[in-house]
Structure 1
Amino acid sequence: MTTIDAELDTSGLSCPLPILKAKKALAGLRGGQVLRVIASDPESVRDFETFSQQMGHVLLEAREELGQFYFLLRKRED
């Protein structure tokens, strides 16, 4: 089981706000820590895949449940 170090609820926000808020939240974490993001924008699935690849973070999980999208991001080691 993955330990979640921080959680960010971006429900109701549209692209690019979930990514921008996640970037800010990750900046406050140490390398290797995990951020859970909750989003309602279907575009966020592709956005978080691209964001994690470009920034070097690991997308541990991307799932949809009852219209909400959940992402687990492990911050890259600095």
Structure 2
Amino acid sequence: MKTKHTNKEVLVNGLKKLAIALLYMFLGPILLHIAFSNQEKPLYIPILIVGLLICFFAIYMAFRGLKTIIDSMFNSN
């Protein structure tokens, strides 16, 4: 019977993805706040679009990071 162990390299990779997601979780709302507080400026729309994309990317990276961490624990390679 083979015992299952956590793959440390994959776990570290997942933690890096979560760290990137955490960075973007702060950056996205900051950009959205800047965009909404300067609606009369000409860069309102581009900053708003970039802020929304960063927010969606943060959610995507968080899910990818969690999936990678779960795969490191439960996949037998």
Instruction: Please report the TM-score for the alignment, with normalisation by the length of structure 2.
Output: 0.29
Which structure features the higher share of helix residues?
2
Which structure features the higher share of strand residues?
1
Instruction: Please report the TM-score for the alignment, with normalisation by the length of structure 1.
Output: 0.29
Which has the higher Rg, Structure 1 or Structure 2?
2
- Between the two structures, name the one with larger relative contact order (CA 8 Å, sep ≥ 6): 2
